[in-house]
Structure 1
Amino acid sequence: MVAQRSEPAREVPRPPPFPRRAGALVAGYAVSSYGNYLNLIALSLFTYEVTGSGLGLGLLMALRLFAGFLAGLAAGALAARVGRRRLMLIADVCQAAAMVVLALCVRSASEGLLVAVVIVLGAGNTFFTVALRSAVPVMVGSGARVRANGRLATARSLATVAGFASAAPVIGLAGHGAAFAVNAASFLVSAAVIFFLRLPTDEDPTDEDPTDKYEADKHRTDEATSLPQGSVQPNHVAVRRIWTAVPALLLGLILLRGVDALASSSHNVALPVVAALRAPQNPAAFMTQFWASWAVGTLVAHQLLKGRQASRMEGRWGVRALAGGTCAMSLCFVLAFTGIETPLLLMAIVCLAGIADGFTEIVYTSRLQAAPDRERSRLFGLSATAETCGFALGMVTAAAALDRWTALTVVGVFHGLAFCGAAVLLLISLNGRRKAGRKPA
């Protein structure tokens, strides 16, 4: 009897190793994010003290968002002109300088000084975020960008909880000036990490044409333009055909993220109201538990996606994953505001919302990073503009709606819009797949 020869098992491709130096970049980003969220509370309270009215606070917060909106329009061109690394350094240093000035002038601050500070913070945050996200594939390699995006999302989530939780003790014990100084120091830490690491952030123009690389990657996915067998197509024609298909898809993804930001503003506005009703003696503790559960969910999302091949994000799987994750996130946030009495069940639902939120952010960021280097910064600038616009519009309309409707109604309506937008994108993606399957071979 002849022994059968067993075929060797096919090895599952593993993602490339994550650069060690990039871990320091994630740590620096976590520190600056912590300072941002600490300052979000401190600056809001301080602005209310200086202006003496909710209208003044609202106008200055709107100005901050508007500065970020305008910065998003110019971020792509500016990153291409000065370089992403230099743009991140400039953004960090300018924000640190603004916070140092505010910390020194805390006793004599005027409305004019606050206007200047919020403009610097709004524009600086957008410039830094656009430059960082578009530089990730260059800093860690295209194959490791999913893991990098997951670590950055996790770092920001943990920083959110730490910043919100420590705001009250820091302000109560040391005052607003100390909180502003901590924020300034966090920006300087981030700038120092970027300066001394010297990670590459822009592709060398003498390297392989990124458009050709992008074309090759696209042909490995089901989004690629199918050609008859044996046909030969000139390179410039192939690139043109790809670019005529990409804008519509990316525009749909970017618009969905804008609607997602609009929906997210509703639970950010409604949460303090619910916290005051559910835990009148200590609403801050309720909010901390809420955001901590959400942060745990984003950490789980990173663990689920860190082994996923980056090329998967570029095909229809990425579109369906983003749409499905947005639907799940919206449903979970609506459930969280239905008045669930059991704390563990509430925290579990919020954790699921965090998983879906982190999942969609990682998939979306990785998808945009698949674009050619020379287009990536412009795409992220457009994305920042859409997200800022959606969040600003949502903050205003959700706050006004809370005067007439319950928190559940407001959150349900806003997240219902995100759910419907994601469902439409999902149906379009599935319909496109069915049409592709009916094409003759």
Structure 2
Amino acid sequence: MSTTGPGPWRHPVLRAVLAAECVSMLGSALTVVAVPWLMLGATGSARAMGLVMAAQLAGTTLFGTLGASWAGRTGPRRVMLLGDACRGVLIALVPVLTAAGSLAVPLTAAAMFLFGAFMAPYAAAQQAMLPDVVGEDEKLLARATASLQGAMRFSMMLGPPLAGLLIGLLGTVPVLYLDVTSFALSLLVLRRFLPRTAPAPRAPSRLGAAGVRALLATPLTATWSLALVCSEFAWQGLFAAIPVVALEFGDRGPSVAGALSGAFGAAALTGTLLVGPLLRRTTAPALAVGGRVLLALCFAVLLLPLGLTAVFGCLVLAGLLNGVSSAPVAAVRALSLPAAVRSEALTVATAVALAGGTCGLLVTGATIQPAGTHTVFVILSLAQAMAAALHVTGLLRERRATRGRAGQERPAAPRTADPAGENGDPAVGSRPPAPAVRSAVRARPPADAATSGGPGAPMPGSGSGDGDGDGGSVPRGHRADASGAPGQDDVPPSPALDAAAREAFPGRSSGPSHAEARLLPPDEPGLRTGDPAPSTPAPRS
């Protein structure tokens, strides 16, 4: 598909996916607030609430790795439909399970573990499905990915404030059932518009081994996947640090935390909307790598002693750069993976990246109070700098590998018999005789047959025919001038030979010169097809 055509969002399948993503992610954003609130109300324990939320994250990480092979065999359409159906049922069970008395915590944790198990395959299926919808063009795929990420970010930005408002008006359980409704609507839309495509046939893979091999097969996919782990570590650590940073402002802490988080979300959404215009001026790999390098510099600025306004500005710039670079990174990496294992490989990559985010949360939580926010920002800046270095290295290594493969496939230049132009004719050293010259020389009438009617007769111009005494030792096809130096070829008039010579050596109006004749194979069987090659010089008469 051409990047000059209509935007990718005009495709009906992509519009359906965007609508389903908006609805389901809005419901999930409601659940992010409603489930912890429900657990706190039912058990009165923050520890129980943390256990339930950790179970969801553990399900995402564990099943994203172990279930990658299943996701690859099932195909994006079935994974997305099954994910919406199962997650809707599991959320519907949460109000019932929280009322189960002493079993409320383990049962709810088990339900949220299964809920999280579908998150990585679902996100990977969305990314793997996009090339089938918009094509394999980098810019179109990056714009489609940006549209999908924009829908997700808009829902996640709108969902938590809306959840707080609805919980105050309706209560927690009705808000959870709104999430159930959102999954049902998403399921109906996807079932209606997603095309039925059979998964690509391939050998069975255990525990996502084919996906891991695909990620490690090229320098770009290997290094960029590791870079996204480092970047997710830095982002989740930053989000965990924002409330602690806000506490430094005293009574304004809650409002400061909300303003910082909201500013980041709005900036990330704005950056996503800028992807399309920017891709009209640059390439997807350049936008991806440039955005990640600037993002690392933005994290480094947080190491300086900054006031609230400067911190606010850094988070806005970081959100903008994240929105600008995330979609190109995802598009370029997806197109670098084989289509047959794309879904499986992306499932593994998503799960590993989320595991990196979990580590960022744990490191920040364990470090920020005893060591302070500056130490945490040092760790997060190093992680983001490592991510930028890996993005640059991966792109450079991939380009070197591509040039190397192109060099191996390029045919070698033909070797010439007189590369240095030793015979004083520049045209001779530049190229070998054309096939037309060979054919014309083979087909011309033999000089000896033209003069004497037999192969043993003297050659015209050979000395034995004109009495100059320098005899039959001159090779057939050449003559000598008065000084004994080789002269012009003794070529009988032949229109075919002259035409072929003019084609092979532009600028000539006659047959081949002595130097050109040297380019003919030394073991020519004869001047005419079928003539035997002479083993001795022609005898004198």
Q: TM-score range by the shorter chain?
A: 0.7 to 0.9
Q: Does 1:33 align with 2:33?
A: no
- Report the counterpart of residue 416 of structure 1 in structure 2: 382
After superposition, the Cα gap between the structure-2 partners of 1:288 and 1:418, relative to the gap in structure 1 and judged at 3 Å, is same
Deviation at 1:50, TM superposition (A): 4.5
Correspondence for 2:343 among 369, 377, 394: 377
CA RMSD of aligned residues (A): 3.4
Normalised to the residue count of structure 1, the TM-score between the two structures is: 0.77
Q: Does 1:199 align with 2:198?
A: no
- Give the alignment of 1:138-153 within 5 angstroms: 138-143=132-137, 144-153=140-149
Alignment check: 8 A CA contact 1:336 1:350 kept: no
CA distance in 2 between counterparts of 1:287 and 1:435 reads 46
- Give the alignment of 1:223-262 within 5 angstroms: 246-262=217-233
Q: Does 1:161 align with 2:151?
A: no
Q: Does 1:355 align with 2:320?
A: yes
- Give the alignment of 1:177-326 within 5 angstroms: 177-200=173-196, 246-278=217-249, 280-281=251-252, 283=254, 285-306=255-276, 308=279, 312-313=283-284, 318=285, 321-326=287-292
CA distance in 2 between counterparts of 1:384 and 1:244 reads 12
Which letter does structure 2 place at the counterpart of 1:369? A
After superposition, the Cα gap between the structure-2 partners of 1:49 and 1:436, relative to the gap in structure 1 and judged at 3 Å, is same
Larger radius of gyration: 2
Deviation at 1:84, TM superposition (A): 1.5
- Report the counterpart of residue 94 of structure 1 in structure 2: 86
Higher helix share: 1
CA distance in 2 between counterparts of 1:183 and 1:245 reads 38
Which letter does structure 2 place at the counterpart of 1:86? R
Secondary structure class of the residue paired with 1:270: helix
Deviation at 1:291, TM superposition (A): 3.2
Deviation at 1:78, TM superposition (A): 1.7
Alignment check: 8 A CA contact 1:106 1:177 kept: no
Secondary structure class of the residue paired with 1:403: helix
Which letter does structure 1 place at the counterpart of 2:76? R
After superposition, the Cα gap between the structure-2 partners of 1:75 and 1:322, relative to the gap in structure 1 and judged at 3 Å, is farther
Unaligned runs of 5+ in 2: 202-213, 411-541
Deviation at 1:399, TM superposition (A): 0.7
Alignment check: 8 A CA contact 1:62 1:392 kept: no
Alignment check: 8 A CA contact 1:326 1:360 kept: yes
After superposition, the Cα gap between the structure-2 partners of 1:378 and 1:276, relative to the gap in structure 1 and judged at 3 Å, is same
Which letter does structure 1 place at the counterpart of 2:111? V
After superposition, the Cα gap between the structure-2 partners of 1:165 and 1:412, relative to the gap in structure 1 and judged at 3 Å, is farther
Alignment check: 8 A CA contact 1:161 1:288 kept: no
Secondary structure class of the residue paired with 2:370: coil
Correspondence for 1:61 among 36, 42, 53: 53
**Deviation per residue, 1:149-178 (Å, 9 max, x gap):** 001111111112112222322223322212
Q: How many residues align?
A: 387
CA distance in 2 between counterparts of 1:408 and 1:115 reads 34
CA distance in 2 between counterparts of 1:429 and 1:204 reads 28
CA distance in 2 between counterparts of 1:335 and 1:182 reads 42
Q: Which moved more, 1:164-173 or 1:247-256?
A: 164-173
Normalised to the residue count of structure 2, the TM-score between the two structures is: 0.64
Alignment check: 8 A CA contact 1:266 1:395 kept: yes
- Report the counterpart of residue 367 of structure 2 in structure 1: 401
